[in-house]
């Protein structure tokens, strides 16, 4: 793998020689990658290639699977996130996540967004909390649509709105990195376009990593693209290079639709 021209001086996250095992089965094999602070990084690849697994190891969501085991190092601002001294709860507050299917809690819109700030004690007063909720909803582009019905249930929103609510929920705890695991795969094209627009706007405020099946989406929203296949990182580069001038045969085959 060549990444000479890609080395990021001060990466937000840096993975080095990462392996992920589920029991005996190795799902990720020796992956090294840098995630830049102001960049959107897309992970693409066919189903089962390990891109979601790798994403989930970046905020230790794999810990919830009893048989999962991670080796190698993953650094967040130079700090090993798998070190015993790392507080997983704090890590996840710094590295937020948006899931494939919108998963708002069965609570009001307000309470969904306020959930994170409340458990982390980010708002000393009710007024502060109101402000955090409003700012998160504004950033997620949902404020105008829901500002008059904050007390309604989050589950009553449409699919696209629910997903933006989940993004607002993640933003509300003021993370440094946002991981998105196929955030549009359950949405219709209009809702998808809105989310992509949102990703553009969030770029620069957060380091964003997005897993996607949809290659056009990767091309539209990201500056860096990583192509995974069978648990290995085949190629990583500037998005324009990957899509116009891939170095690896396998990448070329995939983006021209020969498999996957």
Partner 1 sequence: MTFNAAALLLLIAGLALIGWLAGRARSNLLAGRAGTKLHSRPQYHGWYVALWLFAPAAIFLAVWSSVSPALITNEVLESEAAQSLPSFGFERGAILSDARDVAQGRAAEVRLAAAEPLVRPYADASRKYAWIGIAAMLALALAGGLYAFTRIRPDFRARTRVERIVMLVLLLASLVAILTTFGILLSLIFESIRFFRLVSPAELLFGTTWAPQSGAPQPDSFGGIPLFWGTVLIGAIIAMIVAIPIGMMTAVYLTQYAAPAVRRWVKPLLEILAGVPTVVYGYFAALTVAPALREFAVMLGIPNASTESALAAGIVMGVMIIPFVSSMADDSINAVPQAMRDGSLALGATPNETIRQVLIPAALPGVMGGILLAVSRAIGETMIVVMAAGLSANMTANPFASVTTVTAQIVKLLTGDQEFDSAKTLAAFALGLVLFIVTLLLNIAALRIVKKYREAYE
Q: Give whichever of 166 and 226 is closer to partner 1, judged by the CB atom.
A: 166
Q: Residues in the site for partner 1, rule: CB under 8 A?
A: 59, 61, 64, 66, 89-94, 96-97, 99, 101, 103-107, 115-116, 119-120, 166, 169-170, 173
CB 65, min distance to partner 1, A: 10
Residue 131 vs 156, nearer CB to partner 1: 156
| Cα–Cα distances in angstroms (integers) from residue 207 to residues 40, 107, 174, 219, 234, in the given order | 6, 28, 12, 17, 22
Q: How far apart are CA 221 and CA 56, in angstroms?
A: 20
Give the nearer residue to partner 1 in terms of CB position, either 107 or 213.
107
CB of 239 to partner 1, least distance (A): 26
Paired tokens of 98: 């948006």
Distance in angstroms (rounded) separating the CA atoms of residues 5 and 46: 26
CB of 93 to partner 1, least distance (A): 3
Q: Which is nearer to partner 1, 175 or 246 (CB)?
A: 175
Q: How far is the CB of 106 from partner 1 (least distance, A)?
A: 5
The owner of tokens 């650094």 is 75
CB-based contact 1:246 (threshold 8 Å): no
Residue 38 near residue 220 (C-beta atoms within 8 A): no
Question: Of 2 and 67, which CB lies nearer to partner 1 in the complex structure?
Answer: 67
d(CA 123, CA 111): 13
CB of 4 to partner 1, least distance (A): 34
């Amino acid at each position: 793998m060549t990444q000479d021209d890609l080395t990021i001086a001060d990466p937000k996250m840096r993975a080095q020689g990462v392996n992920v095992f589920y029991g005996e089965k190795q799902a990720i094999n020796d992956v090294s990658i840098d995630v830049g602070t102001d960049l959107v990084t897309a992970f693409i690849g066919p189903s089962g290639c390990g891109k979601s697994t790798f994403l989930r190891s970046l905020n230790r969501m794999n810990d919830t699977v009893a048989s999962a085991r991670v080796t190698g190092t993953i650094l967040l601002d130079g700090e090993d996130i798998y070190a015993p001294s790392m507080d997983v709860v704090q890590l996840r507050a710094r590295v937020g996540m948006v899931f494939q299917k919108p998963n708002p809690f069965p609570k009001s819109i307000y309470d969904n967004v306020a959930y994170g700030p409340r458990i982390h004690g980010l708002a000393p007063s009710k007024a502060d909390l109101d402000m955090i909720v409003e700012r998160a909803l504004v950033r997620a582009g949902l404020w105008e649509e829901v500002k008059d019905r904050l007390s309604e249930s989050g589950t009553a929103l449409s699919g696209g709105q629910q997903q933006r609510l989940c993004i607002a929920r993640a933003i509300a705890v003021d993370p440094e990195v946002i991981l998105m695991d196929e955030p549009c795969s359950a949405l219709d094209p209009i809702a998808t376009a809105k989310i992509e627009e949102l990703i553009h706007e969030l770029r620069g405020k957060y380091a964003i990593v997005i897993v996607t099946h949809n290659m056009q989406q990767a091309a539209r929203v990201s500056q860096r693209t990583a192509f995974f296949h069978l648990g290995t990182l085949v190629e990583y580069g500037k998005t324009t290079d990957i899509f116009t001038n891939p170095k690896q045969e396998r990448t070329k085959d995939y983006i021209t639709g020969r498999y996957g």
